[in-house]
Structure 1
Amino acid sequence: MTSLLPGPGPTSVGERLDPRHRRPLVLVAVLGGAAAALSTLLVCLAAGVVGWFLADAGAHGTPRDGLRVGALGWLLAHGSGIHVSGVTVTVVPLGLTALAAWAVWRVGHRVGDSVSGHGPDADRIADGERDWTVASATAAFAGGYVAVAMITLRLAETPQTAPSVARVLAWCLLLCLTSGLVSIAVGSGRAAIWAAMLPPSARAAGATCLRVLGAYLAVAAVAFLVALVTDFGTAVNVMSRLHTDAGDTTVYTALTASVTPNAVLFSASYLLGPGFTVGAGTLVSPTLVQLGPLPMFPLLAALPDSGPTPVWTVYLLALAPLVAAVAAARSQHRNPTLRWEEGLLRGCAGGVAAGVLLALLTTVAGGAVGPGRLRAVGPDSFDVLVHAVTAFGIGGLVGGLVMTWWQRRTARRATGDGALDSDA
């Protein structure tokens, strides 16, 4: 909402007095949080019922069982973990989590727009007056979201499944304090005001961070898809050995799609060098592949063969700094600078921040997926942090400096050879 941004007096005042932007803050935010939770919960419940019917045409169990499965899937996407036949499963299907985060963003943005007329205007905020609009709305939003999650947990849990209350609470708060808070700030116009107060270099470094992280995840996704397609016959063979009919195959495919983002993060860790484990005592990396018996899961067809790795896989380690350099250069191309220190700071700081964010994402990519050694599956987040900060930081620095050189060279040609001497 732009009602708080500086503009002509009468228009700005008129927007702030518009009742559409001064709705009851607590009520709107609580209802918004509940709506965000229910939107994805209802999708999961519907998927659970459809899956129950497709699995055996309703020959076993009741629709209530399908609803419970859908609710447990929604809780699993919020980090609950469950027990299946006495086996603990803690891996989070990040596809469903991303869907929940998107719903929080969309609803949170509308909540922010609805309450944007509360609190001081842009001039008073710039003068240092405290504004609790975003904080209050986020707290109420989180309250509505958590309430739906706790009710769902109480209705869906059984002594056999035993989802974790603490983990669900923590994940719900995490979603609301990241995607929810930012979307409310953007929708209410506060984000634009706060961003205007930041130094230009900080804003540019933030843009570089997002561009580096997005570009690298895109490359990791392409690498994963190439690996999967290369050995797609193995994935098809796995499905055939499961002896699934059309309904079971549809359900299994949907479940597989829900963990595809996890596989992309595994691929990102692989390309960085640390790799990941598929059970205790295993390792999949560009320099070493050591595997044990694997469960029958189609996405595992993307894994390389166990044993010595080809010589060319070592060169994959160059992808991370190269992607960071290109992304940093493209980011600076959109926001030019002619100062060497500015280009260095933007690229290096943005790359380091992207490395930290990637490490945080990998902390939730793995977990327990079965008994025994399968209780340890996923990347080592600390190793990812060290490698990502180093690779992205160096790549971002190089990209920033190269683009600064190019922009200085272009400016010198346009203005004369001596025009930039004072900036050197």
Structure 2
Amino acid sequence: MTSLLQPPTRSSVEVSADLRHRRPLVLVATLGGVLAAVLPLLVCLAAGVVGWFLTEDGAFGAPRDALRVGATGWLMAHGSGVTVRGTAVTVVPLGLTLVCLWALWRIGNRVGDSISGHGPDADRISDGERDWTVPAAAGLFTVGYAVAVAVTGSLAATPGTGLGVSRATTWGFLMALVVGGTGIAVGSGRAAIWVAWLPPTLRAALRTTRAVLVGWLLVGAIALVAAFVVDATTAANVLSQLHTDAGESTLYAGVTAGVLPNATAFAGSYLLGPGFTVGIDTLVSPGAVVLGPLPMFPLLAALPDAGNGPAWAPWLLLLAPLTAFLAVARVQRRHPALRWEEGVVRGLTGGVGAGILFGIVAGISGGAAGPGRMADVHAHALDVTLHAVVSFGLGGLLAGLAMTWWQRRRYLPAP
């Protein structure tokens, strides 16, 4: 009879699952930030050593020099830049930056899952109780990542090379706080609770902003590939003049992959109208192309020929509003809007937000790429932002109105 009064015992599986979500917050978050920095760093160090062996079988320099090159590339992905013999190279290899952001997101998500059992539950949060689990974990995660960047910068710096360690640390801090912190919030389940408090129109506008931005980056990537394929023989001639073997060609391919997102942003800037520069006193835009002597880099074969643009080039400016129109229509088809003001806010806010974000991407894609004329390689960020805001905003507004009209006819009863 007394056995019936005993409380039910939890199974070992339930206890193990509960402990898995209640790991020490300070330890897990701090080590997670360090691990998110170390994993991409190890990849860059390995790439540096492989590149050293591929270049004349490692006949020049020493392994520590190869490791230092790999660490410098990782730091440049955090915006450090490098100065060699008085020549500054400040272009950020956004391909490596994306790898670092992916590691921050994935590990941040795992950290969030590991500490999800800390703090109040959903009912207590709904009652207004404050939950400091995610802010505390994100802060420790960010500190661990920033410290790893600072330590790596101090070890990789030499008297002959100037590294912007403080700038890289600042970039690392912001990257870990925004991307890693978001991953922790999603992994812990808190993000779902917070997002539920946002107005539905705002959630739809954020969804639309992402769709427009991703769509335009895809259009830029397609334009870049098409331009490169058209002039692929020029790239082959460049490689032949460099007399590269298989190993050195592999190195060129790796460097090209590191700056492909930069080139994609430049292609998007070209399609918007303002264009970009590839050296001092140069311009690459649909209306006119002014070029000078260029370094022998195969990716530059995608540049159009110098002179006035072709007669059909102005029609390229229609791609931006068309892309925004299709992206907004696709999102609103999945999430209908039956009120006119909601359709307008979704389309217009999504387009304007995507234009601002693309302007930021275009702004950080350029920088100094070498000595002399190559000290000025950048997109015209302000003009690009203005054109993107107008084009995406117009396309999004028209799509919002058109889809609202169509959905009102389809879903609302006839009078």
Alignment TM class, shorter chain as reference: over 0.9
**What residue is the counterpart of 2:409 in the other structure?**
409
Change (3 A) 1:185 1:16: farther
AA of the residue aligned to 2:98: A
**What residue is the counterpart of 1:390 in the other structure?**
390
Q: How many residues align?
A: 403
**What residue is the counterpart of 1:324 in the other structure?**
324
Q: Work out the CA distance in 2 between the residues paired with 1:161 and 1:15.
A: 54
Conserved 8 A contact 1:351-1:393: yes
**What residue is the counterpart of 1:93 in the other structure?**
93
The one-character-per-residue Cα deviations of 1:223-245 (angstroms, maximum 9, x if unpaired) are 01000100011111111111111
Partner SS state of residue 379, structure 1: coil
Within 5 Å, which residues of 2 pair with 1:45-56?
45-56=45-56
**What residue is the counterpart of 1:7 in the other structure?**
none
**What residue is the counterpart of 1:133 in the other structure?**
133
Normalised by the size of structure 1, how large is the TM-score?
0.93
Within 5 Å, which residues of 2 pair with 1:35-184?
35-184=35-184
Q: Please state how far the C-alpha of 1:129 moved relative to its aligned partner.
A: 2.7
The one-character-per-residue Cα deviations of 1:279-323 (angstroms, maximum 9, x if unpaired) are 121111111111111111111111111111101010000000000
Q: Please state how far the C-alpha of 1:123 moved relative to its aligned partner.
A: 2.5
Q: Work out the CA distance in 2 between the residues paired with 1:342 and 1:363.
A: 31
**What residue is the counterpart of 2:211 in the other structure?**
211
Conserved 8 A contact 1:279-1:373: yes
Conserved 8 A contact 1:81-1:164: yes
Q: Work out the CA distance in 1 between the residues paired with 2:325 and 2:399.
A: 4
**What residue is the counterpart of 1:368 in the other structure?**
368
Change (3 A) 1:15 1:92: farther
**What residue is the counterpart of 1:421 in the other structure?**
none
Q: Work out the CA distance in 1 between the residues paired with 2:79 and 2:281.
A: 25
Q: Work out the CA distance in 1 between the residues paired with 2:132 and 2:355.
A: 32
Change (3 A) 1:17 1:240: closer
AA of the residue aligned to 2:263: A
The one-character-per-residue Cα deviations of 1:106-161 (angstroms, maximum 9, x if unpaired) are 00000011111122222332333322211111111111111221221121111111
**What residue is the counterpart of 1:261 in the other structure?**
261
**What residue is the counterpart of 1:231 in the other structure?**
231
Conserved 8 A contact 1:16-1:117: no
**What residue is the counterpart of 1:378 in the other structure?**
378
**What residue is the counterpart of 2:311 in the other structure?**
311
Q: Please state how far the C-alpha of 1:16 moved relative to its aligned partner.
A: 12
Normalised by the size of structure 2, how large is the TM-score?
0.94
**What residue is the counterpart of 1:272 in the other structure?**
272
Worse overlay, 165-174 or 120-129? 120-129
Partner SS state of residue 83, structure 2: strand
Partner SS state of residue 38, structure 2: helix
Partner SS state of residue 185, structure 1: helix
Conserved 8 A contact 2:146-2:170: no
Partner SS state of residue 405, structure 1: helix
Q: Work out the CA distance in 1 between the residues paired with 2:82 and 2:217.
A: 29
Q: Please state how far the C-alpha of 1:222 moved relative to its aligned partner.
A: 0.1
Q: Work out the CA distance in 1 between the residues paired with 2:333 and 2:117.
A: 36
Worse overlay, 250-259 or 119-128? 119-128
Q: Work out the CA distance in 1 between the residues paired with 2:261 and 2:164.
A: 23
Q: Please state how far the C-alpha of 1:15 moved relative to its aligned partner.
A: 9.2
**What residue is the counterpart of 1:186 in the other structure?**
186
Q: Please state how far the C-alpha of 1:350 moved relative to its aligned partner.
A: 0.8
Conserved 8 A contact 2:154-2:165: no
Q: Work out the CA distance in 1 between the residues paired with 2:322 and 2:274.
A: 17
- The two structures, once aligned, show a CA RMSD in angstroms of 1.5
Conserved 8 A contact 2:150-2:166: no
Q: Work out the CA distance in 2 between the residues paired with 1:276 and 1:315.
A: 18
AA of the residue aligned to 2:142: A
Q: Please state how far the C-alpha of 1:17 moved relative to its aligned partner.
A: 8.5
Conserved 8 A contact 2:84-2:162: no
AA of the residue aligned to 1:193: I
AA of the residue aligned to 1:94: L
Conserved 8 A contact 2:55-2:248: yes
| Moved >4 Å (runs of 4+) | 14-17
